[in-house]
Chain A
Amino acid sequence: DGGITQSPKYLFRKEGQNVTLSCEQNLNHDAMYWYRQDPGQGLRLIYYSQIVNDFQKGDIAEGYSVSREKKESFPLTVTSAQKNPTAFYPCASSMTGAEEQYFGPGTRLTVT
């Protein structure tokens, strides 16, 4: 089955630790995206990548880093510089930047 996978669904970390969230797709999509969602809020774009080995900052990139070494994978690292990392993190992909985005199940990160 084609789709987007994110694991784990729930992730717990101590403050001051970096943590990497995975996002894998087998849809042969060129573009991939990372969003953050806080309770009662809309999705906010962290980073996006339209092609392998290239990515751009979104609206709230500070404290996050990404890589896009393979078409299928777009991992997100939440660094200790991110002041309020506890949130829901869904990633998405689209055929190209001009097509509709499809979302993975998301990872809920809790940092204490």
Chain B
Amino acid sequence: GQNIDQPTEMTATEGAIVQINCTYQTSGFNGLFWYQQHAGEAPTFLSYNVLDGLEEKGRFSSFLSRSKGYSYLLLKELQMKDSASYLCAVRVAYSGAGSYQLTFGKGTKLSVIP
């Protein structure tokens, strides 16, 4: 099975930088995704890493180390609208079936304060 851990809650100040960590244990790893979910809404795709290293997309960056089973999402220049839950999800490939599944962590609720 898969096990994904991320902090339950974090608080950061507007304009600051925050790093949300995610560790995972899985077999058949085929990529790691980060999603943002505002309260009462469905998740929206933020980033995707399949190779080690840093992927940057505007104020958001995501890092992956496959050997350590570790990823982080970095949010810069925090804005109030960044208050949301951030979900780490690991994709697993099932060989022979040509199918993939995403397993989600429980999410990190980020509160941005003035």
Interface residues of A (CB under 8 A from B): 33, 35, 40-45, 48, 50, 56, 58, 90, 97-98, 100-106, 108
Question: Across the interface, do A102 and B99 meet the contact criterion of CB distance under 8 Å?
Answer: no
Known contacts A90-B43, A106-B42: A45-B102 contact under CB 8 Å: yes
Least CB separation from A9: chain B residue: B40
Question: Across the interface, do A101 and B107 meet the contact criterion of CB distance under 8 Å?
Answer: no
Shortest beta-carbon contacts, A-B, top 7: A42-B104, A103-B42, A90-B42, A43-B104, A97-B100, A42-B106, A106-B42
Other than A41-B106, A42-B104, A103-B42, give 15 A-B pairs with Cβ distance below 8 A.
A33-B102, A42-B105, A42-B106, A42-B107, A43-B43, A45-B102, A48-B101, A50-B98, A58-B101, A100-B45, A103-B35, A103-B44, A105-B41, A105-B42, A108-B40
Q: How many residues of B contact A (CB 8 A)?
A: 23
Known contacts A42-B105, A42-B107, A100-B33: A50-B42 contact under CB 8 Å: no
Least CB separation from A4: chain B residue: B42
**Least distance between A59 CB and chain B CB atoms (Å):** 8
Least CB separation from B33: chain A residue: A100
| Chain A CB within 8 A of B87 CB | yes
Least CB separation from A103: chain B residue: B42
| Chain A CB within 8 A of B48 CB | yes
**Least distance between A32 CB and chain B CB atoms (Å):** 13
